[in-house]
Structure 1
Amino acid sequence: MLKTVIGRLRWIGNVEGVSYLVLLLIAMPLKYWANLPSAVTIVGAVHGLLFTLFLLALLHAWIVKKWSFIFVVIAFLSAFIPFGTFFLDAKLRKES
């Protein structure tokens, strides 16, 4: 899976999507309901790193695959929507 540009994008997209869900569904409630702000600090930092790697993988795929600007914008925006990267993965699975 990690041998192709699409495979790398799919992998990091899934990992980034999971980290986003952990941030929203576990770390944020721990911060506000259990008074554990360190959960957001730690998970947020990991998620930020994974988001940056996702953007780099998306940029690499854009250059190699010569995708349209609109597709890349939609792929970028999918990272801001919960479960969005999983829908992107389904689309990319058909392409690879």
Structure 2
Amino acid sequence: MDLKTASAIRRLRLVSVPEGISWIILLVCTIIKYGVDKGFDAAPVMGPVHGTLFILYVLFWLDAWNRTKWSKGTAALYFAYSVIPGGGFILERRLNREAEDAVIAARAREEGTVNA
């Protein structure tokens, strides 16, 4: 994996958790606003925060998809994580696992060529 691909995946990982948190907070604020306390309205604050993080998520997702050449199914799944409450946490863990697997594979290739 080249440096630009690794950077694209890292950016997506870094924005996925805050985007997931903001989605959940916005959902809770909306439920409180319409269900519990009619006077509480944090949506005008959280809406733009979440919107900005979502736009960053989509831009970083597109960049990562372009660089990694994910299949359409994988790319669609990774995009779907942005609209599922808590999906950002799942994506971050999955991308972290993929990055660790890539490092392990690269080390194994290095050791295989050195020992051969």
Unaligned runs of 5+ in 1: none
Supply the distance in 2 between the matched residues of 1:38 and 1:10 (Cα, whole angstroms). Answer: 30
Runs of 4+ in 1 over 6 A off after TM superposition: none
Supply the distance in 2 between the matched residues of 1:9 and 1:49 (Cα, whole angstroms). Answer: 14
Q: Is the 8 A contact 1:17 1:82 kept in 2?
A: yes
Supply the distance in 2 between the matched residues of 1:6 and 1:74 (Cα, whole angstroms). Answer: 15
Aligned residue in 2 for 1:28: 30
Supply the distance in 1 between the matched residues of 2:39 and 2:49 (Cα, whole angstroms). Answer: 17
Supply the distance in 1 between the matched residues of 2:41 and 2:62 (Cα, whole angstroms). Answer: 32
SS in 1 for 2:31: helix
Supply the distance in 2 between the matched residues of 1:30 and 1:42 (Cα, whole angstroms). Answer: 14
Q: 1:29 Cα deviation (Å)?
A: 3.2
Greater C-alpha radius of gyration: 2
Aligned residue in 1 for 2:58: 55
Residue 42 (1) aligns with residue 48 (2): no
Q: Is the 8 A contact 1:22 1:43 kept in 2?
A: yes
Supply the distance in 1 between the matched residues of 2:13 and 2:42 (Cα, whole angstroms). Answer: 26
SS in 2 for 1:81: coil
Q: 1:37 Cα deviation (Å)?
A: 5.8
Aligned residue in 2 for 1:6: 9
Unaligned runs of 5+ in 2: 1-5, 100-116
- Aligned residues, how many? 93
RMSD, matched Cα: 1.5
Match of 2:21 among 4, 9, 18: 18
Summarize deviations over 1:19-51 as a string: whole Å, max 9, x none: 0011112x1133122224641121011101110
Question: Quick one: which amino acid aligns to residue 73 of structure 1?
Answer: A
Supply the distance in 1 between the matched residues of 2:62 and 2:73 (Cα, whole angstroms). Answer: 13
Match of 2:71 among 48, 68, 71: 68
Supply the distance in 2 between the matched residues of 1:40 and 1:70 (Cα, whole angstroms). Answer: 33
